[in-house]
Amino acid sequence: DVKVTQSSRYLVKRTGEKVFLECVQDMDHENMFWYRQDPGLGLRLIYFSYDVKMKEKGDIPEGYSVSREKKERFSLILESASTNQTSMYLCASSGLPGYNEQFFGPGTRLTVL
């Protein structure tokens, strides 16, 4: 059974803290994604990685960075968390070639106080 796992389902942090969200996939997929999901806005792409150590900004990268040191793991980093980063964060992965199905993790609900 294919699996994308995220390190936490719920996370509460304080303004200014550095936050790490971890995502691991077991499908040997080349591509990994970080989205945030907000009511009325749907899913918005934060960052995308198409290979180890390779990354590309999505639509809303400001305030975020990412790390992909191993193929199966993709981390989202909030360098200094702010209240407007309170959201649901979803990780996904997909394989090559073409526009393939994305497999999603269950999400991390992050609250920044």
Partner 1 sequence: GNSVTQMEGPVTLSEEAFLTINCTYTATGYPSLFWYVQYPGEGLQLLLKATKADDKGSNKGFEATYRKETTSFHLEKGSVQVSDSAVYFCALPYSGGYQKVTFGIGTKLQVIP
Structure tokens at 37: 């999901």
Whose Cβ is closer to partner 1: residue 33's or residue 74's? 33
**CA atoms in the 13 A half-sphere facing the CB of 48:** 12
* DSSP label of 70: E
Of 13-21, 39-47, 61-69, 70-78, which part binds partner 1 (CB under 8 A)? 39-47
Q: Is 16 in the site for partner 1 (CB under 8 A)?
A: no
Q: Is 61 in the site for partner 1 (CB under 8 A)?
A: no
Residue type, 107: G
Q: Is 34 in the site for partner 1 (CB under 8 A)?
A: no
Best CA proximity match to 106, nearest among 93, 89, 84, 87: 89
Residue from 24, 34, 107, 112 that binds partner 1 (CB under 8 A)?
A: 107
Q: Is 89 in the site for partner 1 (CB under 8 A)?
A: no
